[in-house]
């Protein structure tokens, strides 16, 4: 006998209310699980403190109302959204052992996680463009990148992300799900939800791959292109001192690129091609992708950016 099929689009069916998933990703149970929530809570508080500190300093310092710092503020907003979309569900699962998440809540969390991920990717691309103009066309920097241009870029990033991701939850409501399925992570991701469906998911998989390639894929491609042009310009500088000085202005952004894109590529490849990878490997890669940037980006930029570092030291 086949298991019952739950179709979320049925408005008059009581099955819509019972459709839910089990969160996964943590193998520990009992006391060990509760204790593992302590460092996770500290990480969440560190992410909140770091990004809110960056935002408050940029807002308070009039001299920081410049294109580079406005993009850094946008990056901090994306990190806040990403950490707030993932950490609470994980803490709820570890502390309260509440593993069940309803279908609607899961779709909402999935949408926000992917939204802030795509926004962060696009902001990193915008920051790469900022570094390209600053190094390759320094005399034209102030005329090319103005506060107005950066504001329009941020609006375009948000509009692009919403238009690209809005169909994802809509398409998922058309799938048939069988019973109470366990997810691979302690939060909801689009490839993970598709795996639980009991009906044809080719349209969902194809659109998900299209969104991945047209947003994060293109962003990474243009980031790499920007750095090829930056490297070409740096190599044309006559002295090693000048080369190191130019390269030093990119160190923070290079760290942000590596922190964001390397785990993201590994996680995407594992979801699509590595069918027999252990659940622990999935969990580690996903947590590294979604938890590391919100924690480490404020630290990296606070250490490398003199204006922000001076303000923090002044407060301390």
13 in a structural domain: no
CA distances from 207 to 117, 166, 186, 215, 285 (A): 17, 11, 24, 12, 23
pLDDT (average), residues 23-37? 64
What CA–CA distance (Å, rounded) separates 220 from 208? 17
Residue whose pair of structure tokens reads 């005399």 in the numeric block = 139
Is 28 a domain residue? no
CA distance 59 to 126: 20
Would 110 be classed as within a structural domain? yes
pLDDT confidence of residue 113: 94
Residue 100, in any domain of the structure: yes
- Residue 249 pLDDT exceeds 80: yes
Q: What is the pLDDT of residue 12?
A: 45
Number of domains the chain is built from:
1
Q: What confidence category does residue 302 fall into, taking pLDDT thresholds of 50, 70 and 90? A: confident
What's this model's pTM, rounded to 2 decimal places? 0.89
Compute the chain's Rg from CA coordinates. 21
The answer to whether residue 32 is domain-embedded is no
Q: Which of 29-43, 123-137, 241-255 is predicted with the least confidence, judged by mean pLDDT?
A: 29-43
Per residue in 56-69, pLDDT (tens digit) is: 999 988 888 899 99
Residue 2, classified by CB atoms within 10 Å of its CB into exposed (0-12), middle (13-18) or buried (19+), is exposed
CA distance 160 to 165: 9
Instruction: Domain of residue 244: give its range.
Output: 37-315
What pLDDT does residue 258 have? 92
The listed range with the strongest mean pLDDT (82-91, 123-132, 303-312) is 123-132
pLDDT tens-digit series, residues 222-248: 999 999 999 999 988 878 888 888 888
Residue 223 belongs to domain with CATH number: 1.20.1070.10
Residue 212 scores a pLDDT above 70: yes
Return d(Cα 295, Cα 292) in angstroms, integer. Answer: 5
Share of the chain above pLDDT 90, in %: 44
Residue 116 lies in a domain: yes
**E strands along 100-151, which residues?**
100-102
pLDDT band at 13 (very low <50, low <70, confident <90, very high): very low
Residue 180 lies in a domain: yes
Asked if residue 58 is part of any domain, the answer here is yes
Q: Of 17-26, 28-37, 121-130, 158-167, which gets the smallest average pLDDT? A: 28-37
**Cβ atoms 41, 83 nearer than 8 A:** no
The mean pLDDT value of the chain amounts to 84
Interval 149-164 mean pLDDT:
95
CA–CA gap between residue 87 and residue 186 (Å, rounded): 9
The DSSP call for residue 216 is I
- pLDDT value at 280 more than 80: no
């Amino acid at each position: 006998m086949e298991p019952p099929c739950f179709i979320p689009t049925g408005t008059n069916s009581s099955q819509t209310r019972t459709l839910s998933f089990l969160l996964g990703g943590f193998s520990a149970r009992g006391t060990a699980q509760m204790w593992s929530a302590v460092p996770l809570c500290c990480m969440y508080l560190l992410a909140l403190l770091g990004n809110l500190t960056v935002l408050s300093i940029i807002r308070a310092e009039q001299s920081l109302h410049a294109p580079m710092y406005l993009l850094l503020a946008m990056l901090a907003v994306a990190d806040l959204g990403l950490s707030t979309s993932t950490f609470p569900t994980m803490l709820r699962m570890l502390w309260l052992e509440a593993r069940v998440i309803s279908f609607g809540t899961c779709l909402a969390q999935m949408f926000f996680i992917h939204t802030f991920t795509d926004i962060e990717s696009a902001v990193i691309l915008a920051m790469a463009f900022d570094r390209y103009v600053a190094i390759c066309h320094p005399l034209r920097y102030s005329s090319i990148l103005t506060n107005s241009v950066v504001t329009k870029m941020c609006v375009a990033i948000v509009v692009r992300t919403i238009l690209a991701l809005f169909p994802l939850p809509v398409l998922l409501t058309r799938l048939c799900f069988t019973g109470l399925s366990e997810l691979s992570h302690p939060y909801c991701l689009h490839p993970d939800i598709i795996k639980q469906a009991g009906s044809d998911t080719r349209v969902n998989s194809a659109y998900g791959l299209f969104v991945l390639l047209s947003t994060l894929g293109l962003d990474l491609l243009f980031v790499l292109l920007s750095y090829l042009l930056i490297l070409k310009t740096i190599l044309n500088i006559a002295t090693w001192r000048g080369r190191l000085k130019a390269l030093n202005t990119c160190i923070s952004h290079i760290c942000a690129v590596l922190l964001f894109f390397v785990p993201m590529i590994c996680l995407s490849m594992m979801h699509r091609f590595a069918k027999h990878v252990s659940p622990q490997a999935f969990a580690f890669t996903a947590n590294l992708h979604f938890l590391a940037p919100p924690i480490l980006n404020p630290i990296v930029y606070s250490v490398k950016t003199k204006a922000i570092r001076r303000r923090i030291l002044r407060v301390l």
